[in-house]
Amino acid sequence: MSGTLAGKVVVITGGGTGIGLGIAQSCAAEGAAVVLAQRRAALAETAAAQLCASGAQALGMACDVRAGATRFAP
C-alpha cells in the first residue's frame, strides 16, 4: 500500500469485528494508527493485539455510542 494515512489516527466504532475490523485493517495497512472502539472490550482488545502482531499501531477499548448510553466504559 502507499502509506496515505501515515501519521494519522483513525477511530473506528465497531472496529473489533466484521466490516469495522476490515476498515481497521485497511487503514492500518495504509499507515494509520487505529483505535478500535467496541461495546465488548475483549473483542476490541483481541483485534488490536492481532493488528499489533502484524506490525500496526492499534488500541482496543470499550465504547458505547448508542443514544443515552454511557459513552466510555471505565
Question: Residue 74 pLDDT more than 60?
Answer: no
User: 31 or 68, which is more confident?
Assistant: 31
Angle at 30 between CA 53 and CA 40, to 5 degrees: 50
Question: Residue 52 pLDDT more than 80?
Answer: yes
**CA separation, residue 45 to residues 1, 22, 59 (Å):** 25, 15, 7
Q: Mean pLDDT, to the nearest integer, of 44-59?
A: 97
Instruction: Tell me the three state secondary structure of residue 41.
Output: helix
- The per-residue pLDDT for 72 is 56
- The per-residue pLDDT for 45 is 96
